[in-house]
Amino acid sequence: MAQTLNVDLGLRSYPIYIGSGLIADPEFYRPHVRGERVMIVTNETVAPIYLDSVKAALADYHISEVVLPDGEQYKTLEVWNRIFDALLHERFARDCTLIALGGGVVGDMTGFAAACYQRGVPFIQVPTTLLAQVDSSVGGKTGINHPAGKNMIGAFHQPLAVIADTDTLETLAQKELSAGLAEVLKYGFIRDLPFLAWMESHMAELLARDPSALGHAIKRSCEIKAAIVAEDELESGQRALLNLGHTFGHAIEAGAGYGTWLHGEAVAVGTCMAANLSQRLGWLDEGDVERVRRLVSSAGLPTDPPADLSPERFLDLMSVDKKVLSGKMRFVLLKALGDAIVTSYVEPDLLYATLADRCP
């Protein structure tokens, strides 16, 4: 049984299907596939587990595949180009559909390839990690990394559908599950205090992959994300709230070398740092910050930045953030738990103090 949510974007609206057993079911693909040719883009970890099921579900189409290496360190221009090599080698025309089968890296790279191939072809997201199911597969942000900054080259390109099979989470490494929980927690921190409280009391079930707890977490996360994206598709306002923890987090990922930290782990630390800065601005109290850190830690996630990332290097890496406008950094901070804002009014000494802060 699938639950269906909708991302309301006028002509670019699309469904998010969430449930068990969807990945091998042709019914979820058929209404959305365009043309007769399908290119499945996946990675070396996911292919041996799920590629055959997806191919069987798409047996009515002419299928090709490209299998990329797995990891954030491969979200590069060179690896991305392999998708075009495959499409061109096999003479794909515009009447085709790309399928992104995998986690956030595969989804972002496939979506960006779909945005660019012959100036734009359709694609479907089939996310197989928790992080991709609750966040990156929804909303149309696609792209690749540059050594100077995360997701620096990309496009907004909405998928035709998101098919989130919750069974795929059974094969996910525990570290990857925790990384996905960082983004689930984010929705509570920015917009939904009751959801945060629900996570507090259901963390053990979430970590034990209880299907009902995970199903609720995925649905609520996608509801919040779909509503924000529908309000502000191209991030001219409210959508930036979804970037809580990301300015600090992206700096950690780039500073340590892509692939050293999982994206969700870096976002978890970034969220604790955003809470720290929010306290310095007088918005959160000590108890709130402690609650943020406790929740993050209870999800099996780190709370502190790497000791070798100096405040100066942090600042340098953060200065290429996509939220920088007219040379001014903007931050997603917490006015209260469940109430995030975007602000550029942060005194440099308070920011520096947060960047220098390390738990004893």
Ligand X SMILES: O=C(O)C(=O)C[C@@H](O)[C@H](O)[C@H](O)COP(=O)(O)O
**Which residue lies nearer to ligand X by CB, 165 or 321?**
321
- Kindly indicate which of the ranges 14-22, 41-49, 134-142, 294-302 contains the residues binding ligand X, using the contact rule CB under 6 A: 134-142
Q: Counting contacts by CB under 6 A, is residue 239 touching ligand X? A: yes
Does 176 sit near ligand X (CB under 6 A)? no
Query: x/- binding map, residues 242-261, to ligand X, per CB under 6 A?
Result: xx--x---------------
Q: Tell me how far apart the alpha carbons of residues 104 and 106 are, in angstroms, rounded to a whole number.
A: 6
Active-site entry in 157, 220, 263, 330: 263
Give the pair of three-digit tokens for residue 273.
């740092």
Q: Which residue's beta carbon is nearest to the bound ligand X?
A: 151
Binding residues for NAD(+): 70-75, 104-108, 128-129, 141, 150, 168-171
Among this protein's residues, is 239 annotated catalytic?
Answer: yes
What is the C-alpha to C-alpha distance for residues 190 and 193, in angstroms, rounded to an integer?
Answer: 8
The two beta strands, 141-146 and 149-156, are antiparallel
Is residue 141 part of the contact set for ligand X (CB under 6 A)? Answer: yes
DSSP string, 79-117: HHHHHHHHHHHTT--SSEEEEEEESHHHHHHHHHHHHHG
Largest Cα–Cα separation, the chain: 61
Active site residue 243: yes
Cα–Cα distance, 321 to 317 (Å, whole number): 8
Give 151 or 166: the residue with its C-beta nearer to ligand X.
Answer: 151
Q: Using alpha carbons only, give the angle 351, 355, 360 rounded to the nearest 5 degrees.
A: 130
Q: Which among 201-209, 238-246, 281-289, 306-314 is the span making contact with ligand X, rule CB under 6 A?
A: 238-246
Which residues, in sequence order, are CB contacts of 310 under 8 Å at separation 6+?
none
Q: Are 238 and 152 contacting, i.e. CB atoms less than 8 angstroms apart?
A: no
Q: By the criterion CB under 6 A, which residues form the site for ligand X?
A: 135-136, 139, 141, 150-151, 183, 235, 239, 242-243, 246, 322
Q: Mind telling me the catalytic residues?
A: 119, 141, 183, 225, 235, 239, 243, 246, 250, 263
